Structure 1
Amino acid sequence: MATETATLGGGCFWCLEAVYQELKGVVSVESGYAGGAVPSPRYEDVCEGTTGHAEVVRVVFDTDKISYRDILEVFFTIHDPTTLNRQGNDIGTQYRSVIYYHDETQRDTAQHVIAEMANVWDAPIVTELAPAPEFFKAEAYHQNYFRQNPMQGYCAYIIAPKVAKFRKMHADRLAG
């Protein structure tokens, strides 16, 4: 199996993780932090906005089953790439829309997808595009958060509707 890694930030990492875990061809999803200046950041510090990190997911996928372009097309349907440092009520640089590319091919693909998505959104896309920095895996209680806590308030009222929207929009891309 040939795999590739995508590192994406689009608001709370719990939301992105919940969607990508259901996507056909995804091998693993880890929530974490990237793009900041503090080594080994902790959730509390990232939430304060003092580390410079974004909440991100690291998605490993089987390139025989799904392409990087497909990963990005889903990304642009599950968050608002036009709001700077914000997704709904989540406000701060840690919630920025960002694509961290792992090689020049990913960068080129991301540039093309961003240009195409500019025709879909009514406002300019503010998604940051940058080389993948060091990834710091989030604390264990953040992994598989939605699956383990579906009735928790944020999960029930914020994540569940996003997952439902994803399932409806991308039914053909759901893992079996």
Structure 2
Amino acid sequence: MNTKLITATFANGCFWCTEAVFQRFNGIYNVRSGYTGGAIKNPPYREVCQGRTGHAEAIQFDYNPDIITYLELLQIFFTTHDPTTLNRQGNDVGTQYRSAIYYHTEDQRLESENFIALLEKEKIFDSKIVTEVTEAKPFYLAEEEHSSYYNNNKQQGYCQFIIDPKINKIKKLFQDKLQEAYL
């Protein structure tokens, strides 16, 4: 198998949550937390968290489409957050927590828009999906202490109450796609 890896970028609330979810799947590599979609270069966490830069907390990773498809990535994305709350995920409020797909190719854009249309048509969610689909912009890595935050801080309250339920959900719904170490 000599497949070229493809980059994907998603924002769906706190990047600690999103990173913890996506790094558990087969075919996903180099999951990194960071910031995208904003107005300044190299924004610091404190300013992003205060909503002063226009960036979203996001993750970016590479994936092997022979192992996990973009459609499967979208299924994971929409299963592990609420895409109907504008600029909010649970107690995390502000534009930095928006639901967004940052596409790198025209195929990703079309697949994202078509999938959202299908979810809306099937009325999968009680409210309208507010996920923005936007061309990928520069991605700035978050500070090192945010890397693998969940894996390094599982006893922290936020991890137990917010991230653990997401991990349990993917174990239940996507067991056949998870890396053996995370089953």
TM-score (norm 1): 0.98
Give identity over the alignment, percent. 50
Instruction: Please name the residue that 2:160 is paired with.
Output: 156
Instruction: Please name the residue that 1:62 is paired with.
Output: 64
Instruction: Please name the residue that 2:52 is paired with.
Output: 50
Instruction: Please name the residue that 1:13 is paired with.
Output: 15
Q: 1:139 aligns with which of 117, 121, 143?
A: 143
| Match runs of 1:5-154 below 5 Å | 5-118=7-120, 119=122, 120-154=124-158
Instruction: Please name the residue that 1:171 is paired with.
Output: 175
More divergent stretch after superposition (148-157 vs 89-98): 148-157
Whole-Å separation in 2 of the counterparts to 1:117 and 1:170: 18
Whole-Å separation in 1 of the counterparts to 2:156 and 2:48: 21
Whole-Å separation in 2 of the counterparts to 1:149 and 1:132: 30
Displacement of 1:153? 1.1
For structure 1, list consecutive stretches of 5 or more residues without a partner in the other structure: none
Q: Does the CA-based 8 Å contact 1:97-1:128 persist in structure 2?
A: yes
Q: Does the CA-based 8 Å contact 1:2-1:64 persist in structure 2?
A: no
Displacement of 1:108? 0.4
The aligned length equals 176
Q: Can you list the C-alpha shifts for 1:20-60, whole angstroms capped at 9, x where unaligned?
A: 01112111200000000011100000000000000000021
Matched residue SS, 2:21: helix
Q: Does the CA-based 8 Å contact 1:4-1:63 persist in structure 2?
A: yes
Displacement of 1:4? 0.6
Whole-Å separation in 1 of the counterparts to 2:30 and 2:41: 24
Matched residue SS, 2:63: strand
Letter in 2 for 1:30: R
Moved over 3 A (4+): none
